[in-house]
């Protein structure tokens, strides 16, 4: 049985919502309170990425780098060499979008515990358009040896994830969304780096989501149950290291897998699950996300509709998938 404590209000119209970046901001402040080696750097987007909460509490531990993302992470690498735990924050489009090589060399090969904070990731940035809607960050971060990749599903989890990566001693990437996101978890819900959580049990199909998409999967699962499809929902807030055991166990139970992410499916979360399943337990798979194109301007809710990432759209796709693809059950 799933013993994950889900927000009991999650499927109601009046579900609480908060920004994932806000959760990060509070988590960073709390981490800074617990450990005075934590420092924060930002490239001229301090309030947007909510580093202002930390800056106001610990101004002496905040470093402004200006609009210079390569310098941002390389200075962070130097601070780590001097014993600090630096959080280097900007928009994901530039960090890690622009400074990937510095992250690879000065953080990952160097194995320094720098925390890369990618704000305003995904199409949820909205009207700013394709240049600012970072969709490739999961792919380019998870391919780096030594890197931990965390994509929290709501503000509460973002706070926990921030505190967890603050103390994990490793290069880490945390992906943050801009807009308010429904709260799926509770203060008591577990979060551990490298763990996936079954939020809802089912036997027809496994819906695996990361970041803001897990909420949409819960909505989809409810809609699917109304038409007789019993979907399991697995929340995967850590993409690297991937919780192979939980994912494979769920796939074994249901025989069909759907992944959902607000990012390119190629190389992203869907790519990670596809790699795992195809090597360990080939299972019919449908990946939902952005499919080899860039985003465009629009309000976030409009864009989620346009790209088919709402619970309603997903329920329809999953229904077709379930009706057309047989469950695969291994005999061994």
CB of 100 to other proteins, least distance (A): 11
Least separation, in Å, of the C-beta of 202 and other proteins? 44
51 forms part of the interface with other proteins (CB under 8 A):
no
Q: Which is nearer to other proteins, 39 or 208 (CB)?
A: 39
Evaluate whether 248 touches 279 at the Cβ level (below 8 Å). no
* Closest approach of other proteins to the CB of residue 159, in Å: 25
* Angle of the 20-34 helix axis to the 155-166 helix axis, nearest 10: 30
Shortest distance, position 67 Cβ to other proteins, whole Å: 9
Q: Is 187 in the site for other proteins (CB under 8 A)?
A: no
The active-site residue, picked from 33, 60, 69, 136, is 69
Pair of tokens at residue 111 = 């194995």
The torsion angles phi and psi of 53, rounded to 5 degrees, stand at: -65, -45
Q: What is the DSSP string of 21-57?
A: HHHHHHHHHHHHHH-TTEEEEESS-TTTTTTHHHHHH
Query: Buried b / exposed e across 256-277, counting CB within 10 Å, b at 16+?
Result: bbbbbbbbbbbbbbbbbbbebb
As a whole number of angstroms, the distance between CA 77 and CA 91 comes to 18
Q: Report the site for other proteins in 103-142 (rule: CB under 8 A).
A: 105-106, 109-111
Mark whether 157 is an active-site residue: no
Q: Which of 76, 93, 208, 315 binds other proteins (CB under 8 A)?
A: 76
The span from the CA of 207 to the CA of 197, in Å, is 12
| Tokens 């530039």, residue located | 94
Does 46 help bind other proteins (rule: CB under 8 A)? no
Compute the distance between CA of residue 42 and CA of residue 123 in angstroms, rounded to an integer.
22
The stretch near other proteins (CB under 8 A) out of 7-15, 64-72, 226-234, 287-295 is 64-72
Q: State the DSSP code for 105.
A: I
Establish whether the linkage from the previous residue to 184 is cis, with ω within 30° of 0.
no
- The correct pick among 33, 47, 56, 101 for binding other proteins (CB under 8 A) is 101
How many whole angstroms separate alpha carbon 304 and alpha carbon 291? 13
105 or 302: CB nearest other proteins? 105
Q: Which residue has the tokens 């928009």?
A: 91
Q: How far is the CB of 139 from other proteins (least distance, A)?
A: 20
CB-CB contact of 123 with 179 (8 Å) = no
Q: Which stretch binds other proteins (CB under 8 A): 78-86, 117-125, 176-184, 294-302?
A: 78-86
> In the complex with other proteins, which residue's Cβ is closer, 32 or 295?
32
- Examine residue 77 and tell whether it contacts other proteins (CB under 8 A): yes
The whole-angstrom separation of Cα 126 and Cα 305 is 12
Stretch that binds other proteins, among 25-33, 70-78, 166-174, 211-219 (CB under 8 A): 70-78
49 binds other proteins (CB under 8 A): no
190 binds other proteins (CB under 8 A): no
In this chain, which of 1, 59, 82, 332 binds other proteins, going by CB under 8 A? Answer: 82
In the region spanning residues 197 to 236, those forming contacts with other proteins, defined by CB under 8 A, are none
Sheet with strand 205-209: strands edge to edge: 197-200, 231-235, 205-209, 257-264, 285-290
The one among 15, 57, 61, 222 contacting other proteins by CB under 8 A:
61
Closer residue to other proteins (CB): 82 or 227: 82
Q: Which residues are catalytic?
A: 69
Which residues of this chain interact with other proteins, rule CB under 8 A?
Answer: 39, 60-61, 63, 65-66, 68, 70-71, 74-84, 86, 101-102, 105-106, 109-111
């Amino acid at each position: 049985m799933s013993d994950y404590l889900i927000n009991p209000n999650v499927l109601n119209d009046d579900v609480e919502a908060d920004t994932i970046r806000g959760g990060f901001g509070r988590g960073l402040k709390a981490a800074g309170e617990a450990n005075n080696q934590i420092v924060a750097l930002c490239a001229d987007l301090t309030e947007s990425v909510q580093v202002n909460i930390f800056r106001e509490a610990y101004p002496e531990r905040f470093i402004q780098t200006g609009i210079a993302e390569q310098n941002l992470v390389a200075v962070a690498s130097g601070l780590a060499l001097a014993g600090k735990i630096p959080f280097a924050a900007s928009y994901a489009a530039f960090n890690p979008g622009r400074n990937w090589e510095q992250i690879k060399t000065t953080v990952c090969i160097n194995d320094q515990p720098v925390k890369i904070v990618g704000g305003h990731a995904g199409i949820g940035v909205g009207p700013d358009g394709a240049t600012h809607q970072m969709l490739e960050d999961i792919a380019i971060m998870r391919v780096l040896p030594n890197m931990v990749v965390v994509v929290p599903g709501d503000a509460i989890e973002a706070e926990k994830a921030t505190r967890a990566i603050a103390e994990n001693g490793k290069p880490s990437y945390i992906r943050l969304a801009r807009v308010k996101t429904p709260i799926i978890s509770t203060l008591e819900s577990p979060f551990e780096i490298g763990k996936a959580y079954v939020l809802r049990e089912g036997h027809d199909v496994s819906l695996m989501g990361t970041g803001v998409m897990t909420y949409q999967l819960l909505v989809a699962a409810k809609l699917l149950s109304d038409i007789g499809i019993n979907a399991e929902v697995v929340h995967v807030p850590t993409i690297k290291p991937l919780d192979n055991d939980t994912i494979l166990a769920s796939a074994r139970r249901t025989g069909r897998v759907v992944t959902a992410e607000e990012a390119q499916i190629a190389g992203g979360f869907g790519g990670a699950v596809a790699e795992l399943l195809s090597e360990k337990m080939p299972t019919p798979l449908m990946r939902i996300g952005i499919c080899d194109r860039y985003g465009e301007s629009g309000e976030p809710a409009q864009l989620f509709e346009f790209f088919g990432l709402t619970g309603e759209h997903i329920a329809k796709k999953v229904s077709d998938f379930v009706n057309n693809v047989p469950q695969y059950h291994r005999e061994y």
